[in-house]
Amino acid sequence: MAFVITAPCETEKAGECVTVCPVDCIEEGEDQFYINPDICIDCGACAAVCPVDAIFEEYDLTVEQEPYLDKAEQYFGIS
């Protein structure tokens, strides 16, 4: 399981998530931040500091949010 950054990040890109991640699995993309699901340890630190509540656990995603997991996997080259 991993955390996923969703739509609210596209307009905010605050970046607090990057500074609190203990395993450095969050990278800034062109339009939003992305969490590498292969590195994420599911600690939840990123979700706790996100000012726009854009970060959710993979298994808590709604149907509308699911494309953001695919988007992160594509960003990191994960099949």
- Inter-CA distances, 55 with 8, 44, Å: 9, 9
Phi/psi of residue 2, each to 5°?
A: -145, 165
- Count the neighbouring beta carbons within 10 Å of the beta carbon of residue 41: 13
Quick one: pLDDT at residue 67? 97
H-helix or E-strand spanning residue 75: helix 67-75
Query: Tens-digit pLDDT profile for the chain (79 aa)?
Result: 799 999 999 989 999 999 999 999 999 999 999 999 999 999 999 999 999 999 999 999 999 999 999 999 999 999 7
The listed CATH number (3.30.70.20, 3.40.50.620, 3.40.190.10, 1.10.730.10) that belongs to domain 3-75: 3.30.70.20
Instruction: Please give the structure tokens belonging to residue 31.
Output: 């339009």
